Chains A and B, each alone.
Chain A
Amino acid sequence: MSLALGLVIIPLLAALLMLLWPRLARGLQLAAALLCTILATMLLQLVQQEGSQQLFIGGWNPLLAIRWQADSVTALLLLLSAVLHLLVSGYALAVQQRDKLAAAFWPLSSLLLASLQALWLSRDLFNLYVCLELLGMVAVALVTLSGDKAMRPALHYLLFSLFASLCYLLGVALLYGAYGALDLPLLQGQLQANSLTAAALVLITLGLMLKAAWWPLHLWLPAAHAAAPAPVSALLSALVVKGPLFILVLVWTTLAPAAFLNVAAYAFLVCALGALLLAGVAALRTPYSKTLVAYSTVAQLGYAMLALALMLSFNLPVFTAALWLFVMAHALAKAACFLSIGEMQQTLGVKKVAQLKGASQTMPLAMFAFAVAGGSLIGLPPSGGFLAKWVMLLGLWQAQQYFLLLVLLVATLVSAAYIFRVVVLAFDRAEPTAPDFSPQLLPQWLALLPALAVWAMAFFSMPLLAILQQELS
Chain B
Amino acid sequence: MIDLSQLLWPGAGLGLTSTLQQGWFAFTLLLWLAAALYSLSSQRADRQQARYWLFMGLCFSGNLLLIAAQDALSFYLGFSLMSLAATALVLHTGSKAAKRAGRLYLQLAVLGELLLFSALVLRAAAAGGQYDWQSWQAVELDHLTISLFLLGLGLKAGFFPLHLWLPQAHPVAPAPASAVLSGAMIKAGIFGLWFFLPAGDATLQLWLPYLALLGLVSAYFGAIAALCHTAPKTILAYSSVSQMGYLLLLLTASWQLASSTPYTVTLLLLVAYAAHHAFAKGALFLLAGSAAKYRFAIFDKACALIAALSMMALPFSSGAAVKTALKTLTAELRLPYLQSISWLLSLGALLSALALWHFLSQLWQQQQLAHHRVPVLQQVAVALLAILLILLPWAWPLLQYYSLHALTSYAWLGLITPVLLALLGYRYLFAIVALPLQRIGQGSRWVFRLSLWLKRRYQPIRQLTLPAFSVNWRALRQQGWYKALRRFKG
Contacts and interface: CB of A to CB of B under 8 A. Distances in A.
Please tell me whether chains A and B touch each other in their complex, using a CB distance cut-off of 8 A.
yes
Interface of A: 284-285
B207 interface: no
Contacts of A285: 473, 477
Contacts of B473: 284-285
3 contacts: A284-B473, A285-B473, A285-B477
What are the nearest 3 A-B pairs in CB distance? A285-B473, A284-B473, A285-B477
Nearest to A285: B473
Contacts of B477: 285
B356 to A, nearest CB: 73
Interface string B457-477: 000000000000000010001
B376 to A, nearest CB: 69
Contacts of A284: 473
A284 B477 CA distance: 13
Nearest to B474: A285
A285 B476 CA distance: 11
A285 B478 CA distance: 13
Interface residues of B, number: 2
A413 to B, nearest CB: 13
Nearest to A284: B473
B195 to A, nearest CB: 57
A289 to B, nearest CB: 16
A233 to B, nearest CB: 25
Interface of B: 473, 477
A285 B473 CA distance: 7
A193 B450 CA distance: 86
B17 to A, nearest CB: 61
A285 to B, nearest CB: 6
A231 B89 CA distance: 76
B476 to A, nearest CB: 9
A285 B471 CA distance: 12
A285 B477 CA distance: 10
A283 to B, nearest CB: 12
B141 to A, nearest CB: 54
Nearest to B473: A285
A285 B475 CA distance: 12
B377 to A, nearest CB: 64
A326 B158 CA distance: 74
B473 to A, nearest CB: 6
B249 to A, nearest CB: 69
A284 B476 CA distance: 13
Nearest to A287: B474
Nearest to B476: A285
A253 B415 CA distance: 111
A191 to B, nearest CB: 46
A284 B472 CA distance: 12
A284 B471 CA distance: 12
A319 B477 CA distance: 37
B26 to A, nearest CB: 68
A224 to B, nearest CB: 24
A79 B227 CA distance: 101
B472 to A, nearest CB: 12
A169 to B, nearest CB: 40
B268 to A, nearest CB: 72
B175 to A, nearest CB: 59
B479 to A, nearest CB: 15
A81 B473 CA distance: 38
A416 B473 CA distance: 16
A71 B477 CA distance: 48
A285 B472 CA distance: 11
A44 to B, nearest CB: 45
A278 to B, nearest CB: 14
A235 B473 CA distance: 31
A284 B473 CA distance: 9
A400 to B, nearest CB: 32
A291 to B, nearest CB: 15
